[in-house]
Amino acid sequence: MAKQQIILVNKHNRKIGVAEKIKTHQKGWLHRAFSIFVFNSKRELLIQQRAKSKYHSGGIWANTVCSHPRPNETYQQAIHRRLQEEMGFDCPLKKLFCFIYKAEFTNGLIENEYDCVFIGKYNGPLKANPKEVMNYKWISLIDLKKDIKRYPNKYSIWLKIALKKMKARN
């Protein structure tokens, strides 16, 4: 199987190259990413516990889906592909905002992402991919924020940053 390639960008999200995913995270190069937040009609957010086998942050709770567009793939193509691949459903999604963050992990990998946040609504069935997701649940933002405050290490850095930025926009 070919090594996964991701898009390297500058601070304005302009493509400056392509590199292998693991090498990008070893070197801490800025790259394109996205985070999806899907809510149901009760205004609960679908969050996932990342599979233990993930290359970083395994077992950590994160937003509905987070990933990287492939080279020559638009955000729209990538967000719908990964939502289907990870959670087994698709729904309309709209872009809210983008932000840059950098975080180092205990295994030596570095996230340095230009992360665009997309939001959607969905009430139907889902089928999480066990290779990607070890658990999932719907949770109110009030309960999620309380749990993050009590147990911050259970949650991904990008989820915590995106939630703060979402709150600041309201």
The catalytic residues are 66, 113
Type and span of the H or E element at 50: strand 44-50
Percent helix, strand, coil in the chain, to 5, is: 25, 40, 35
What's the one-letter identity of residue 97?
F
Residue 43 zone, left/alpha/beta (φ > 0; ψ -120 to 50; rest): left
- Pair of tokens at residue 131: 């290779």
